[in-house]
Structure 1
Amino acid sequence: MYQTLLTDLQEGILTITINRPDKMNALNKDVVAELGQVLEEVYNNNDIKSVLLTGAGEKAFVAGADISEFTALDAAGGAALAQKGADLVFNKIENCPKPVIAAVNGFSLGGGCELAMSCHFRTASENAKFGQPEVNLGLIPGYGGTQRLTQLIGKGKAMELMITADMVGADEAKALGLVNHVFPLADLIGETRKILLKIQTKAPVAVAKAIACVNDAAKGNQDGFANEIKRFGECFATEDMKEGATAFLEKRKAVFAGK
């Protein structure tokens, strides 16, 4: 079905593997287009409850963008490339009502770091490395990296990484808040699946609203508090809230329908 992606749906988790190991899974226009396609399915297929995004092989999650596609672009072309990526993939992942976790299995650089950061949070293997080395190419991140890295780790460290092009390893990335958990490579996918399976036992409508509210906060949305109140109220109109409250009072496990 896809030329550059592998997809596997089990227990409600859609695992999306970027599959260009010979190119360190670099993002090119085909990968971006196919990620856009698979995200449409994520949004529309009720059998998909959550997403695990990773890279093929043991070396790279996504080691960057395909630079060979850049050389012919002018200013307008570069801006159009970045806009297309934002619309098709990066903003779609960030705003997805279903949880999307990046399982970072190696190099996560440039566009790859940006792809990981657009996910709701990140796990990493012990050999993972993160960085935004675009200034080495006379560029800056164009897929939201300047904004999301600053949101995640703060201005000072984001500034340093962006203008030195330095990389950080998995443990430092965890200390900075860029990743939530570090696992041995062999355990990365299994442990990340466990987190998603736990999330899938929670009320899906509430999870979606929590994602939206946290995104508001990260972006400094001045309507964040008002949006939280509105969404909190909307939860009271759901079957899930009635089930959750009843189950709590009856001292049993809630079974959520996602309605």
Structure 2
Amino acid sequence: MPHVRLDVDGPVVTVRMDHPPLNAFDTTQREELAARVRELADARDVRAVVLYGGERLFAAGADLKSLAAMGPEEVRGWNRALQRTFDEVARLPMPVVAAINGYALGGGLELALAADHRVAAEDAVLGQPEVRLGIMPGSGGTQRLTRLIGPSRAKNLLMTGRRVGAEEALRLGLVDEVVPAATVYEAALAHARRLAEGPAAALEAIKEAVDHGADIGIPAALALERALFTGVFGTADAATGIRSFLEHGPGHARFEGTPRNRESHETTDDKEEKGEEK
């Protein structure tokens, strides 16, 4: 049976990890995840992605039995491949939403950090416990965690290896939403569907501007933003969005490739905006 499969729901695709009992990353799971992500990177009809490990847990890290049998050079190559795979997740052109049930530890949290939005169950447990094994995160944990929650908070989690519950993770900014465990996947899917209805080129450009702009100086980052803005302004979706705003006001545009009726996925902000217009 495959360890990673793709479940298609219109323009939203779920990357479903299914490697009992812990979704631990061994070579097979890493290779299958990489293959599935590369398929998505080139799929023109995919507008958003959900990462999901099932109802019990997201992923509990690397397969330590496999790592313990490796020498330093072999570990270096294995880690480089896993780091590259998670980086490919982060560089997907469409929005990526992580649906976190149960444990997201070690490599599991590093995969979740590669997403653009994280939805966690009320009983979810997150952490980078590698230091307690005498090692450190090696697949983005020190870098993405620092960029997400800041150096001081990141060092606290990385140096103590402590686990945090969902509410603390929300306060830290480690996750974006906390929902009942039974609704995690549906909440993530609903968010992904809303994003899938947006202008694909603009969403890709926003993601690129934020992700790459954070790693360069402000003059270069502003130049990147300016170039991306100019490129997006010439798209069909931009023409549609501007025309719709001028004719009907905000929130009514249906962008190219949007397969659903916007009314079925209205957000609270949409409803409040309509109330203000009235």
**TM-score, L = length of structure 1:** 0.93
Q: 1:176 is matched with which residue?
A: 172
Aligned residue for 1:230, secondary structure, equals helix
The within-5 A match list for 1:37-48 is: 37-48=35-46
Partners in 1 of 2:116 and 2:217 — Cα distance?
Answer: 17
* Count of residues in Structure 1 that have an aligned counterpart in Structure 2: 254
The within-5 A match list for 1:223-234 is: 223-234=220-231
Aligned residue for 1:250, secondary structure, equals helix
| Alpha-carbon displacement from aligned partner over 1:89-113 (angstroms, at most 9, x marks no partner) | 2111111111111111110000001
Instruction: State whether residues 5 and 36 of structure 2, in contact with CA within 8 Å, keep that contact through their aligned partners in structure 1.
Output: no
Q: 1:8 is matched with which residue?
A: 7
Judge which range, 94-103 or 66-75, deviates more.
66-75
Aligned residue for 2:58, secondary structure, equals strand
Q: 1:122 is matched with which residue?
A: 118
Structure 2: tracts of 5 or more residues without a match: 258-278
Q: How far 1:143 sits from its partner (Å)?
A: 0.2
Partners in 2 of 1:121 and 1:96 — Cα distance?
Answer: 13
Of 82, 89, 92, the residue aligned with 1:93 is 89
Partners in 2 of 1:52 and 1:229 — Cα distance?
Answer: 30
Give the AA of the match of 2:242.
A
Partners in 2 of 1:51 and 1:107 — Cα distance?
Answer: 20
Q: How far 1:243 sits from its partner (Å)?
A: 1.1
The within-5 A match list for 1:187-206 is: 187-206=183-202
Q: 1:155 is matched with which residue?
A: 151
The within-5 A match list for 1:18-167 is: 18-22=17-21, 24-58=22-56, 60-87=57-84, 89-167=85-163
Instruction: State whether residues 21 and 57 of structure 1, in contact with CA within 8 Å, keep that contact through their aligned partners in structure 2.
Output: no
Partners in 2 of 1:97 and 1:107 — Cα distance?
Answer: 27
Partners in 1 of 2:144 and 2:101 — Cα distance?
Answer: 20
Instruction: State whether residues 5 and 34 of structure 1, in contact with CA within 8 Å, keep that contact through their aligned partners in structure 2.
Output: yes
Q: How far 1:220 sits from its partner (Å)?
A: 4.4
Q: Who wins on radius of gyration, i.e. which is larger?
A: 2
Partners in 1 of 2:165 and 2:214 — Cα distance?
Answer: 24
Structure 1: tracts of 5 or more residues without a match: none
| Alpha-carbon displacement from aligned partner over 1:206-238 (angstroms, at most 9, x marks no partner) | 000000111024434553221101100111221
RMSD, aligned α-carbons: 1.5
Of 182, 185, 196, the residue aligned with 2:181 is 185
| Alpha carbons of structure 1 residues 28 and 10: separation in structure 2 relative to 1, 3 Å | same
Give the AA of the match of 2:4.
L
Aligned residue for 2:98, secondary structure, equals strand
Judge which range, 78-87 or 205-214, deviates more.
78-87
Partners in 2 of 1:116 and 1:90 — Cα distance?
Answer: 9
Partners in 2 of 1:48 and 1:201 — Cα distance?
Answer: 11
Instruction: State whether residues 50 and 99 of structure 2, in contact with CA within 8 Å, keep that contact through their aligned partners in structure 1.
Output: yes
